[in-house]
Structures are given as structure tokens and as C-alpha cells.
Homo-oligomer: A and B are copies of this chain.
Amino acid sequence: MLSTQPYKGTRDFYPQDLRIRNYMFNVWRKCCLKFGYEEYDGPLLEPFELFAAKTGEEIINEQLYFFEDKGGRKVAIRPEMTPTVSRMAAQKILNQSPTPLKWFSIANFYRYEKPQKGRLREFFQLNADIFGEEGVWADLDLLLLNKAIMEAFGAKDTMYEVRLNNRFLINYLFEQVVGVSGEKTKDLAKALDKRSKLSEADFGKVLEKLELDATQIKNVGKIAKFTIADVKRLKDLPEGANDLVNLLELAENAGLKNVVYDPLIVRGFDYYDGNVFEQFDLTPGNNRSMFGGGRYNGLISLFIKKNVPAVGFAPGDVTMLDFLESWKLLPAFESETQILVTLFPENSECYIKAMEAAQELRQWINVETYLYPNEDLTKQIKYADRKGIPYVLILGPEELKNGTITLKSLKTGEQEEFKSLIDLWKKTFQK
């Protein structure tokens, strides 16, 4: 016998699960359209080189699914969307499309992870990106979109926080305050990225491994506690770093109360090169990272000889669902089928009339017909009840004689007679 279980780290979406997933996807899609983003999609398989170039060592070495196809091409299942969407945007820009491009997609990704809370091997993400605008208004547009999404899910400002940092600022602080530059920058950034998961002592050990001296370690501690006021006091900030200050100001003016500077935000992808941000779920006792985003202005130059600024973010379905569940924000989902039309024995006049009634009602609502007309009525009604279908329609010999239609509510048990299907629909279902 073959197993009925899915491959490790992936999920079967049964109808009750898919309703939740569709609900999330619909909120994402609707909000993106509200802000003028256009939907695209790319292939699931991409040349290996696309990710090898910039995705970051951890993903490539440990998490990427790749193999040779039958023609000897090395291909990978996408672990993220940014390289694909950059490739597609590069092609559009080559074709002289009007910019900025404001694009979104909702797609699945694979990473070879040890399955755990918040992490699976197959997951879905919304990716929203803007290509061709270097100003922080693009970053703001994404933050406003993010707020609209969270509001559409019913989330309040106090339930989550968007923490910002900036790669130029990070590098500047490493150089000027800690005295670290070049190769070591990446290692120190990685260490900071893990700061919140480590004790003071363990964090110290990580820094020692980087061969930092006591003063340097003290200074790392200092920048780990930096505030935006500290940042503003810095002299000769590099221009890119000012984007952080400017974005925070715009966000504040736009009423985004939960957007803050956080010196510990780094983001793992190698391609980020300006503002970066990460959203945290503030569930008490279970404060955790939900997703991130940022600037990757340099990425498109892998494809075309042109500077194309880019910024994006990517909420995932697994962490979003955890968030909605922790805060009890998920609505109740009812059957999408409104009526089960019960049937009378095959080829009888009742059978034919009932099949016609189902067809007519489908102009307005979702209607299932029972699949075995020779079954007894009680069993048909029981089936509807077990499936959560709220109404059954009965068109039997009695109804045929009287020229009526019976609709029985399975919630209340009450029956009502109607003279026509349109009356039935208007009275019971029309909103």
C-alpha cells in the first residue's frame, strides 16, 4: 500500500484548509489591486544560476532544491521570487515598458528546511515589488500596502511592528563605531541578525569567534542599542543611509504608528542594499518575525546594463496564518454550496424537474444535485447536513401536483413552499 501522507514539510490542502488559504490570498490580491499593483507570475523552475548569483549562501548550500533535467540543464525549484521577478522586470525594461513597475504575485516556493513552527518545505508568499523608483515614496507605498493588508485581516497597529534598518547605515556603523569592514562585515551582520535569539553570553561567544577585541565587542553592544536619535546625531552619514531617516519621517506623517528603527534588523539575502525591514508578530510571549523586505537596487544589473532601483516585501502564508490564529482573527467559513437539490428515481418526472431547477438556480447561487437519484430522501438530507450545506430543495410528487417547490433549512429544520424558483432565491438568498 502507498502512504496517504504528503511529502515531508508539505501540506495537503483539504477543502476546509483551502478556504483559509483562499481567504488569505484574496485579501492579499484585493489589497494589492487597491494600490495599483499588477499581478504577474513566473515559472516554478528556473536555471540554477539565477539563484546562485545573489540569493545567499545558506539557501543555496543547504535549502535549494536543484537537479539536472533530462537535457543536462541544471534547474532549481524557486526558493523565493525576487530573482525571478527581477529577471522579468529586466526584460520589460529592455522592452521600454513605462516605469515604475508595481507588481505582485502569489506563488509557492520550496526550501529544504527542518519542518517546524512557522517553517515548512513548501510555502506560499505574496511578493509585492516596485521597479524603477529610487525615492523612499516607493518604500512608503509598500508600507501603506502592508498596513492595508493587515487592516483587511482585522489586525490592529498594536498586534505587529515593522522594524526598519538600512544596509548603508549598518556598514557605516560597523566601520566607524566598531572598526570592522570588508569581509568581516557579512559575518558581523549575520551575528547581529541572530542577536535576539541568543543570550548575552552566547552572543559574546559569537563575537569572539569573529576575533573582535573587548572594545569592539563593547561597541557592537552599543550599536545594538542605537536609537533613531543616535542615528540623527551621526556626522557624514552616507547618502543611502539618509533613506532610513526619510522613510521613518514619511511613515510617521502617513500615520504609520508601528514602523520603527531597529539596529538589529539585517535580513539574510545578499542582494539587499538600502532600507530593509522586517515585520514582527507582537503576540505576548511569542514575539516573532513574520517576513521581511527591502531595497535591492543592484540586482537587476545581473541581467541588463542599467541601474534599476527596486524594493519589495514578501509575507508568507505560514507565518501569516500563525499570526491570524494567535490573535483569533480568522473568520468562520461556511459551505460555499447553498442548496442540495434532492432527486427522485431516475427518469421520473420529478427527477427531470429537479435537475432543471438546479440548473436554473445556478444563475444565482451554488447548487449541488445529489448524485444517485434512486437513494431515499432521508439519506440525501443527511448527506447535505454532514457537508454543512444549509438548505435542501425538494421537488417531489406532492410539489409537482401543487406546482410548488419546498425548501428546507437544515439549521432550523423549517420548511417553506415557493411558487417559483426566482421567489425562492429572492426571499432566501438575495442580499
Q: Chain A interface (Cβ within 8 Å of chain B)?
A: 1-8, 10-15, 17-19, 21-22, 33-36, 38-47, 49-50, 53, 62, 65, 67, 69-71, 73, 75, 77, 87-88, 90-92, 94, 98, 100, 102-103, 108, 110, 112, 121-122, 130, 133, 135, 137-138, 141, 144, 148, 253-254, 302-305, 336-337, 340, 346-347, 352, 355, 359, 362, 366-369, 371-373, 383, 386-387, 389
Q: What is the interface of chain A mostly: helix, strand, loop, or mixed?
A: mixed
Q: How far is the CA of A44 from the CA of B67 in the complex (A)?
A: 16
Which residue of chain B is the closest to A38 with respect to CB atoms? B15
- Shortest Cβ distance from residue A404 to the other chain B in the assembled complex, whole angstroms: 23
Which residue of chain B is the closest to A32 with respect to CB atoms? B366
Do A14 and B88 touch (CB < 8 A)? yes
Q: How far is the CA of A42 from the CA of B40 in the complex (A)?
A: 22
Do A112 and B69 touch (CB < 8 A)? yes
- Chain B residues with Cβ below 8 Å from A77 are 44-45, 77
Identical copies in the complex: 2
Contact of A40 among B18, B45, B135, B336 (CB under 8 A): B18
- Chain B residues with Cβ below 8 Å from A39 are 15, 18-19, 22
Q: How far is the CA of A36 from the CA of B22 in the complex (A)?
A: 17
Do A44 and B108 touch (CB < 8 A)? yes
Contact of A73 among B8, B62, B103, B337 (CB under 8 A): B8
Q: How far is the CA of A346 from the CA of B372 in the complex (A)?
A: 67
- Chain B residues with Cβ below 8 Å from A49 are 2
Q: In the complex where A44-B122, A122-B44 touch, is A12 in contact with B91 (Cβ < 8 A)?
A: yes
Do A4 and B91 touch (CB < 8 A)? yes
Q: In the complex where A70-B112, A75-B7, A368-B102 touch, is A13 in contact with B42 (Cβ < 8 A)?
A: yes
Q: In the complex where A41-B18, A73-B7, A103-B15 touch, is A98 in contact with B372 (Cβ < 8 A)?
A: no
Closest 8 CB pairs of A and B: A36-B368, A10-B43, A67-B67, A15-B38, A98-B386, A4-B91, A13-B41, A36-B337
- Chain B residues with Cβ below 8 Å from A46 are 6-7
Which residue of chain B is the closest to A53 with respect to CB atoms? B2
Which residue of chain B is the closest to A45 with respect to CB atoms? B7
Q: List 28 A-B contacts (CB under 8 A).
A: A1-B302, A1-B303, A2-B47, A3-B303, A4-B90, A4-B304, A5-B91, A7-B75, A14-B88, A15-B38, A15-B40, A18-B41, A22-B39, A33-B337, A35-B366, A36-B340, A36-B389, A45-B77, A45-B110, A65-B67, A65-B69, A70-B112, A98-B386, A100-B371, A135-B372, A141-B371, A144-B359, A253-B347
Do A302 and B371 touch (CB < 8 A)? no
Which residue of chain B is the closest to A92 with respect to CB atoms? B14
Do B4 and A35 touch (CB < 8 A)? no
- Shortest Cβ distance from residue A140 to the other chain B in the assembled complex, whole angstroms: 9
- Chain B residues with Cβ below 8 Å from A303 are 1-4
- Shortest Cβ distance from residue A125 to the other chain B in the assembled complex, whole angstroms: 14
Q: In the complex where A14-B40, A304-B1 touch, is A35 in contact with B122 (Cβ < 8 A)?
A: no
Q: How far is the CA of A303 from the CA of B46 in the complex (A)?
A: 33
Do B371 and A135 touch (CB < 8 A)? yes
- Shortest Cβ distance from residue A106 to the other chain B in the assembled complex, whole angstroms: 11
Which residue of chain B is the closest to A100 with respect to CB atoms? B371
- Shortest Cβ distance from residue A369 to the other chain B in the assembled complex, whole angstroms: 7
- Shortest Cβ distance from residue A415 to the other chain B in the assembled complex, whole angstroms: 21
Which residue of chain B is the closest to A347 with respect to CB atoms? B253
